[in-house]
Amino acid sequence: MSFNVICFDCDSTLSKIEGIDELARRVGVGEEMAKLTDAAMNGAVPLEAVYEQRLAIIRPDRDSIDWLADVYIEQIVDGAKPVFDALLAQGKEVHIISGGLRQAIMPLARYLGVPDAHVHAVDIYFHEDGSYQSYQLDSPLARNGGKAEVCSALLKEPGTMAVIGDGKTDMEAKQAGAYVIGFGGVVDRAIVRELADVYVTEPSLLAVLGHIL
């Protein structure tokens, strides 16, 4: 199959980390946060039930977001850059759709050659001194069903979109008519293995190319 619009999750798909968990570890609440993240990614609890709670506990400041941006790139998944180079060389429309924080993801997206307008994530807001203020409360990506909404807006005609991700929220893109590839190269989730149209377990993102070109 060949698709014109190809969308990737970020955490545990393009980078080996879960950004929110890294921020939590930085302030000493990593174990508590990892349990909340895992519950949301496995579909045990709605994303919106944990999103605000996690940020309220961590209260990430501007410096920590800059730090996280570096970690995303340092921990890039094997094969990610060649995959994006190949897709962009063929004129594919490539997007990143993530429930992560936009300002932390943008440097990775730019490294991969993704236009700023093709990065769909949740904005975070700071006070003038750089301390945490709030986040984009009305973002669809901070709740369940949000990725399907974003995909519906991007889908031009049936059968032209593929979505690659590791979590249950990525599988929701099927509701928008997307072909969904589960990526288990970083985290192997049974619910994703069950729901994806195809599932890959190789640690390199290159394993998905044969399914989208």
The answer to whether residue 63 is catalytic is no
Q: Which of 165, 126, 125 is nearest to 146 (CA)?
A: 165
Q: What is the pLDDT of residue 82?
A: 98
Q: What is the pLDDT of residue 129?
A: 98
Q: pLDDT per residue over 30-50, tens digit each? A: 888 888 888 887 888 888 888
Looking at residue 155, which CATH number applies to its domain? 3.40.50.1000
Q: Note down the domain range covering 100.
A: 5-212
Q: How far is CA 182 from CA 20, 22, 88, 91, 210, in A?
A: 21, 23, 21, 23, 14
Q: What is the pLDDT of residue 159?
A: 86
Band of residue 189 on the pLDDT scale cut at 50, 70, 90? very high
Domain count, the chain: 1
The answer to whether residue 9 is catalytic is yes
Rounded-to-5 percentages of helix, strand, coil across the chain: 50, 20, 35
As a whole number of angstroms, the distance between CA 87 and CA 5 comes to: 10
Instruction: Catalytic residue, from 9, 21, 166, 170: name it.
Output: 9
133 pLDDT exceeds 90?
yes
Q: pLDDT per residue over 61-89, tens digit each? A: 999 999 999 999 999 999 999 999 999 99
As a whole number of angstroms, the distance between CA 211 and CA 81 comes to: 17
Dihedral of the alpha carbons of 40, 46, 174, 104, in degrees to the nearest 10: -60
**Average pLDDT over all residues of the chain:** 94
Q: pLDDT per residue over 79-120, tens digit each? A: 999 999 999 999 999 999 999 999 999 999 999 999 999 999
3-state secondary structure of 171: helix
Q: What is the pLDDT of residue 90?
A: 96
Mean pLDDT to the nearest integer, 124-137: 97
Helices of type H across the chain: 19-26, 30-41, 47-58, 62-74, 80-89, 102-111, 146-154, 168-171, 190-195, 209-212
Instruction: Catalytic residue, from 11, 21, 61, 166: name it.
Output: 11
Q: What is the pLDDT of residue 64?
A: 98
170 pLDDT exceeds 90?
yes
